[in-house]
Structure 1
């Protein structure tokens, strides 16, 4: 079964109680990786509880490839510090797209991603 390439919009909402990486205050931002794509949110200065509320759109070639999410602290004079990371699969979402969506309302939770050893989310996050 082949999948047509498509686009996936990921809304990066916020970070909660991120680890502080600088004495002068952290400047966190999020990077999404999929295949050879690398998309970034804006940097929110001097906070460990950033609110981005930004949409990043990725081209999906293979739905079996997981999306990697990294949270980094922007540094001016040195390499940016890692604050956390997570991976999530979108295969369940791709299966939903092939279904009859007439009975599924906007905002329906398709999958829940929970924190774990491979996923440094602070709390569970929903794929809607």
Structure 2
């Protein structure tokens, strides 16, 4: 069973399609792992190549199979524009423990619209029962003392 914490390092994105025609985009990311959602800062005026270098921590269990990162363009006065999203499978990080910053495709529907760079680290939760020696070993130790 997988239980623990997932640390996500959101490095940046490149080649995003600009949703603002007259000026640079102000992108931010919504990171979602099952029902948990977190939001990055807004990379004001960074356009198609934003950098965040921000870390986020999620509590995960067996049911968390993927991390979805939705990229948005912050617009004042109107609703924010959807830029695209990346879906990152988590099985490899559960097995390896960490995955260095890696590039993932950002898509809008079926259409490629840039890339995002993300690093992942999984720290398993330690079951306290696994730290104790079997009870018969404790009795043997106490008998000898």
TM superposition score category, shorter chain reference: 0.7 to 0.9
Q: Which has the higher helix share?
A: 2
Gaps of 5+ in 1: 98-106
TM-score (norm 1): 0.73
How many residues are aligned here? 116
Contact 1:86/1:121 (<8 A) preserved: no
Distance change >3 Å, CA 127–CA 54, structure 1 → 2: closer
Residues 30 and 70, structure 1, Cα contact 8 Å, conserved in 2: yes
The two structures have a TM-score, normalised by structure 2, of: 0.65
1:24 is the counterpart of 2:17: no
- Say whether residues 1:38 and 2:37 are aligned partners: yes
Work out the CA distance in 2 between the residues paired with 1:25 and 1:11: 24
Higher alpha-carbon Rg: 2
Higher RCO (C-alpha 8 Å, min separation 6)? 2
Deviations 1:55-83 (A, max 9, x none): 11111122552110111001112221111
Task: Tell me, yes or no, if structure 1 residue 85 matches structure 2 residue 78.
Answer: no
Partner of 2:115, secondary structure, is: coil
